[in-house]
Amino acid sequence: MIHRMLLVHLGYSTLPTETPTRTSASTMPKLKRQFMKKFKNSSFMDVNLHALFKSAIKAEDFEKALMNAIVSGDKTLTVNKMTFKNRLSSQQLHHKNKLNVLTTFRSIDTLNKGNSAKSSERAITLRQVHPTGTGYMCGITSADTGIKVGMSKQLSVSADITSASSSEVLKHIVLEDKQLIKTEAILQDMTLVNKHNLHKVFVNGDWLGCVHDFALFLTIYRKKRRSGEIHLYTTVSHNIAANEIHMWVDSGRLVRPLLVVSNNMAKKGYTHDTFRQWISLTNDHIAQLQARKIDIDDLARQGIVEYISPEEHENTYIAFEHDRFKQHITDPLHRFYFLRQSGSYRSNPIRIMGNSKRLATHCSWWPCYFSIHKWWIRINTIPS
């Protein structure tokens, strides 16, 4: 974090762009205040960074604020003798019917919306449809009139919010990887990062080390996710501007399922003239989904479907229509990562179109059967 702040200060890097779907941390303002306070009267060597971080970030403070917001519903909250606006909201749930309950659970309310800021540049930006929301938030569902227009949104039917899983298992797997140059070796000579153009590897924000071949590292761990060696909701993203690989298994990330696209580029004797790509979803899978014998998670465990978060969404090349995908089945210049299916499965069936050991990229679907709290809903249009 200090390294990133220094690069921004020197003009070698920029702050990450805030998007509606990207998971962002809220600890930077507190850390900045603590740094400014300590470094004003003390040298860098005299500052206990460990104690500084602990004093700036307190999990119990956030937990207390969250409980107060849910229980009391106050407009202001007080934490550490500091009063600030309540950015956490609670909504009374009226059990009219199951669909109403699901709609309430999937609603998205913009933080700190009010009359004073309804015409500001920030408010106008928040009301607009952002490209990163495609497939995660509905671009048309909102309030009809009033200041809530564009501020109150709905999750797409295909999108879901992850729960937390253990990062210790993933850290152990990464630390045992022979490709990884551990932080102990890097800290002895920090010039190695720039000399060899190393890519840093983070798991839930913890820096574990660096790798030389970032493309191979990403391919291996995405294959591990598809084969079930790591959790199917794991995010494996690459920030090419900062030379960083981030892997996340924390809670609160938006994910959506995409059909994995495979190709034959790893086949012996491959040439561009023999290029083929395909998806592994078959009519038999569709029939089993309709019969409720399997769900989307089962397809994910088989490597047919993959859950992608907005961070990883930027590293993918997605075919938004099956017809368009078929037009480029033999085109090596359009090597899709995922396919997004549109149309009817009955009128436009999907068949296996080849065989390969390599899973290359993806394809997204629209009408399908999604399991929502043990419900099976036929969807003709998925908001995106």
Specify if 285 maps to a domain.
Answer: yes
Specify if 31 maps to a domain.
Answer: yes
Radius of gyration of the chain, Cα coordinates, nearest whole angstrom = 23
Over residues 205-249, the pLDDT tens digits come to 899 999 999 999 999 999 999 999 999 999 999 998 889 999 999
Distance CA 353, CA 259 (A): 14
Q: Indicate the pLDDT class of residue 360, thresholds 50, 70 and 90.
A: very low
Residues 303, 355, single domain; the answer is: yes
Looking at the structure of the chain, the number of domains it has is 4
The closest of 218, 384, 237, 220 to 310, measured between CA atoms, is 237
Of 206, 225, 248, the one marking the end of a domain is: 248
Specify if 162 maps to a domain.
Answer: no
pLDDT at position 145: 76
Instruction: Enumerate long-range contacts of 118-126, CB under 8 Å, 24 or more apart.
Output: 118/147, 123/151, 126/20, 126/150, 126/151
Ramachandran angles phi, psi of 135, nearest 5° = 85, -10
Distance CA 247, CA 197 (A): 20
Q: Which residues contact 48 (CB under 8 A, 6 or more apart)?
A: none
Over residues 61-109, the pLDDT tens digits come to 666 666 665 555 555 666 556 666 655 555 555 566 777 777 777 777 6
Q: Indicate the pLDDT class of residue 58, thresholds 50, 70 and 90.
A: low
Residues 69, 24, single domain; the answer is: yes
Classify 168 in phi/psi space as left (phi over 0), alpha (psi -120 to 50) or beta: alpha
The closest of 203, 360, 346, 225 to 280, measured between CA atoms, is 360
Residues 193, 285, single domain; the answer is: no
Distance CA 200, CA 241 (A): 12
pTM over 0.85: no
> Which residues form the domain of 110?
98-155
Residues 281, 233, single domain; the answer is: no
Neighbour tally for 202: CB within 10 Å: 17
Over residues 296-332, the pLDDT tens digits come to 899 999 999 999 998 888 888 888 777 788 888 888 8
Q: How many Cα atoms are found within 13 Å in the side-chain-facing hemisphere of 40? A: 7
Of 47, 63, 85, the one marking the end of a domain is: 85
pLDDT at position 66: 61
Neighbour tally for 76: CB within 10 Å: 9
Cα–Cα distances (Å) from 296 to 63, 170, 256, 369, 373, in that order, read 33, 23, 10, 8, 13
Distance CA 276, CA 262 (A): 8
Is the pLDDT reported for residue 180 higher than 70? yes
Read off the DSSP letter of residue 116. G
Q: Give the 3-state secondary structure of residue 338.
A: strand
Residues 147, 195, single domain; the answer is: no
Distance CA 91, CA 73 (A): 9
Distance CA 363, CA 322 (A): 8
Neighbour tally for 284: CB within 10 Å: 8
Is the pLDDT reported for residue 203 higher than 90? yes
Over residues 366-379, the pLDDT tens digits come to 444 443 333 333 33
Residues 366, 277, single domain; the answer is: yes
Better pLDDT: 137 or 114: 137
Specify if 224 maps to a domain.
Answer: yes
Residues 46, 64, single domain; the answer is: yes
Q: Indicate the pLDDT class of residue 16, thresholds 50, 70 and 90.
A: low
pLDDT at position 331: 85
For the sheet with 206-211, list strands across it.
181-182, 206-211, 199-203, 244-248, 235-239
Distance CA 380, CA 342 (A): 9
Buried b (16+ CB within 10 A) or exposed e, 114-153: eeeeeeeeebeebbebbebbbbbbbeebbeeeebbebbbb
pLDDT at position 22: 61
Residues 268, 363, single domain; the answer is: yes
Residues 39, 105, single domain; the answer is: no
Over residues 119-158, the pLDDT tens digits come to 677 777 777 777 777 888 887 777 777 777 777 788 888 8
Residues 150, 39, single domain; the answer is: no
Of 203, 218, 248, the one marking the end of a domain is: 248
CA dihedral 268, 270, 275, 281 (to 10 degrees): 10
Residues 199, 244, single domain; the answer is: yes
Over residues 243-274, the pLDDT tens digits come to 999 999 988 888 999 989 888 888 888 888 89
pLDDT at position 98: 75
- Residue 241's domain is classified under what CATH number? 3.90.1070.20
